[in-house]
């Protein structure tokens, strides 16, 4: 039995890509699902190259085709459509994650700009505001040494807010109707 070029070149390439795929998985660059899919694909390519007649006859008989080339083309097109669908879904997931990330960054930058503008408007020092806002969004530049420092910062912020927003003191709550009371829920008809 004489081997054709594709019958020894195909399995060699398949082994190379199986090893490469497994190495990417061990380095953490590929998910387990992708690794299994690609290893099965390259194993199938190797089998098809080694035993083309047996596999093509089995596909044609199993799918009801009269000749082998039609069966192979049909299966190949089906796999290509499946891969395109998978890639499209993955692309949509990445786009949604990117959109969420950009929104969070924009909101954070807008909050920081508002606080900086507020601090400049009232000639206040912005490191206090910056340290508190960075702590609330999860970015900690300077570790808080103890609870007293944090309480002092919170009290300073409350004083700043009270200066900026007149009428928010405890004394002015008496002037506001229903201040501190929970609204009654409306029943649906």
Strand, helix or coil for residue 63 = helix
Residue 81's domain spans which residues?
5-93
Strand, helix or coil for residue 179 = coil
| Buried b / exposed e along 33-64 (16+ C-beta atoms within 10 A) | eebebbbebbeebbebbbebeebbeebbeeee
What is the C-alpha separation between 102 and 108, in angstroms, rounded? 10
| pLDDT, mean of residues 174-189 | 50
Q: Tell me: do 69 and 123 sit in the same domain.
A: no
CA–CA distances in Å: residue 55 to residues 38, 74, 122: 19, 14, 79
Q: Tell me: do 28 and 107 sit in the same domain.
A: no
CB contact at 8 A, 44 and 75: no
CB contact at 8 A, 18 and 42: yes
Q: Say if residue 180's pLDDT is above 60.
A: no
Query: What local confidence, expressed as pLDDT, does residue 154 receive?
Result: 72
Q: Tell me: do 41 and 75 sit in the same domain.
A: yes
Number of domains in the chain: 2
Q: Tens of pLDDT along 82-130? A: 989 989 999 999 999 999 999 999 999 888 888 888 878 776 554 544 5
Query: What local confidence, expressed as pLDDT, does residue 155 receive?
Result: 72
Q: Does a structural domain hold residue 184?
A: no
């Amino acid at each position: 039995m004489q081997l054709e070029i594709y019958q020894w070149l195909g399995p060699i390439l398949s082994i190379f890509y199986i090893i490469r795929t497994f190495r990417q998985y061990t380095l953490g660059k590929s998910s387990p699902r992708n690794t299994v899919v690609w290893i099965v694909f390259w194993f199938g390519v190797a089998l098809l190259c080694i035993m083309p007649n047996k596999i093509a006859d089995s596909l044609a008989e199993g799918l009801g085709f009269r000749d082998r080339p039609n069966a192979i083309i049909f299966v190949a097109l089906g796999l290509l459509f499946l891969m395109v669908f998978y890639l499209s879904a993955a692309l949509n997931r990445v786009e949604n994650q990117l959109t969420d990330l950009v929104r969070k960054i924009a909101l954070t930058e807008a909050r920081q700009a508002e606080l900086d503008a507020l601090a400049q408007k009232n000639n206040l020092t912005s490191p206090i505001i910056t340290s508190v806002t960075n702590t609330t969004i999860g970015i900690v530049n300077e570790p808080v040494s103890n609870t007293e420092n944090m309480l002092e910062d919170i009290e300073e912020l409350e004083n700043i807010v009270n200066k900026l927003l007149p009428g928010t003191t405890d004394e002015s709550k008496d002037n506001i109707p229903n201040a501190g009371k929970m609204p009654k829920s409306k029943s649906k008809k």
